[in-house]
Amino acid sequence: MPPSVPSSRVTIHDVARHAGVSHQTVSRVMNEHPSVAPSTRQKVQQAIHTLHYQPNLAARTLVTQRTSTLGIVGFGLLYYGPAQMMLNIEQAARNRGYSVTLASIPELREAEIERALLDLRRQNVDGIIMITPLKGVDTDRIRAVCGAIPFVLVDAPDAGSLSGATIDQKAGGHLAAQHLIALGHERIALLCGPQRWHDARLRLDGWTEALNEAGLRPVTVLEGDWTAASGFGLTQELLAARTSFTGLLVGNDQMALGALWALHERGVSVPRDVSIVGFDDIPESRFFHPPLTTVRQDFATLGALSLATLLEAIESPDTTPQPHVLKPEILIRASTTTPTPSP
């Protein structure tokens, strides 16, 4: 085994030579990037341990002119999904020794995005992560405004190599609809989220695809705004119109909460009369009455993968990042059951 190098002189290149890998691979291991094979990761970790390598962030800042600060551009952070993305990215960044600056935009307009990006550029951040879960984001314009600063988009299915990670929203919608169909439901109503959000559009696509595969059509499709109040109001509309349905697919858990209350007020039993499936698995969903069947998204992994992709772009700019797609899962609770036979 090669002799240890004194810790004061150990560099990432020393670790790479000791492990027999590239310095980019060492960087990926240090940033916990999932693309590294377990055996390679073990070799690099052993080399780091043997050489007593510890990255000196202050020295790195002097040499590279980096600030060890990342910027996050966030939209819709009042909602559960975007808020979870931001919190998990921030935690992952701090675990990697980076501080985080948040630029929250009040509405998705080109001028607001550019203002936030320019503000982060003035702070000399090393990279930018954008949480913009809406359709129509102009990635070419973002690239022009960011200049030489690397950036990735979180949960943006059309971003290609600019995407750190995405959760397959359509697959999640498909799972939810398949669950009701497998239980025997044929009259299913859809309460979708706002269609200017790509998450809402893809969930609706997944629902309708599963219904089409089963030879079914939704009894109605109504659009809400992610809030419990909209779920309550839309369900009241369904009931007032005397729409016949035994299954209800809802765009997120907050809207499902409103739907549950509207059904309760009208004396409609869940799940005996109507089965409901939500989306997100917010912490409160298992305490709804009844506990809510819902689709769970792994926001912790989403944040870690997006951060790893950005750090790779910062430290190895010639490397082409590989986007990652995460599959959601359905959690079956007491809000769904087989439909009651018609009298």
SS3 readout for 74-93: EECCCCHHHHHHHHHHHHHH
What's the CA gap between 153 and 134, in Å, rounded? 11
Percent of the residues in the chain that have a pLDDT greater than 90, as a whole number = 50
Residue 338 lies in a domain: no
The number of beta carbons lying within 10 Å of the beta carbon of residue 7 is 10
State whether 303 and 162 are in the same domain. Answer: yes
Q: What is the pLDDT of residues 93-108, one digit of tens each?
A: 888 889 999 999 888 7
pLDDT at residue 164 tops 60: yes
287 and 146 within one domain? no
Q: Contact at 8 Å (CB) between 71 and 99? A: no
Residues 284 and 205 in one domain: yes
Would 60 be classed as within a structural domain?
no
pLDDT of residue 96: 83
Do 159 and 304 share a domain, yes or no? yes
Instruction: Pick the closest to residue 182 from 226, 247, 264 (CA basis).
Output: 247
Same domain? For 159 and 75 the reply is yes
Same domain, 130 and 180: no
Buried b (16+ CB within 10 A) or exposed e, 285-312: beebebebbbbbbbbebbbbbbbbbbbb
CA 280-283-284 angle, 5° bins: 100
Domain count, the chain: 3
Task: Judge whether residue 136 has pLDDT over 80.
Answer: no
- Average pLDDT value for the chain: 87
Q: Are residues 85 and 73 in contact, defined by beta-carbon separation less than 8 angstroms?
A: no
Q: What confidence score (pLDDT) does residue 157 get?
A: 64
pLDDT of res. 31: 67
Q: Contact, 154 vs 176, CB < 8 A?
A: no
Cα 228–243–236 angle (5° rounding)?
30
Structural domain containing residue 28: 7-55
Same domain assignment for residues 189 and 266: yes
User: 225 and 138 in one domain?
Assistant: no
On whether both 126 and 269 belong to a single domain, the answer is no
Within a domain: 332: no
**Within a domain: 333:** no
Enter the DSSP assignment of 280. B
Predicted pLDDT at 51:
85
Whether residues 29 and 130 fall in one domain = no
Cβ atoms 146, 117 nearer than 8 A: yes
Asked if the structure places residue 288 within a domain, the reply is yes
CATH of the domain at 50: 1.10.260.40
Angstrom distance (rounded) from CA 219 to CA 204: 14
| Burial classification of residue 119, based on how many CB atoms lie within 10 Å of its CB (0-12 exposed, 13-18 middle, 19 or more buried) | middle
Do residues 161 and 303 both lie within one domain? yes
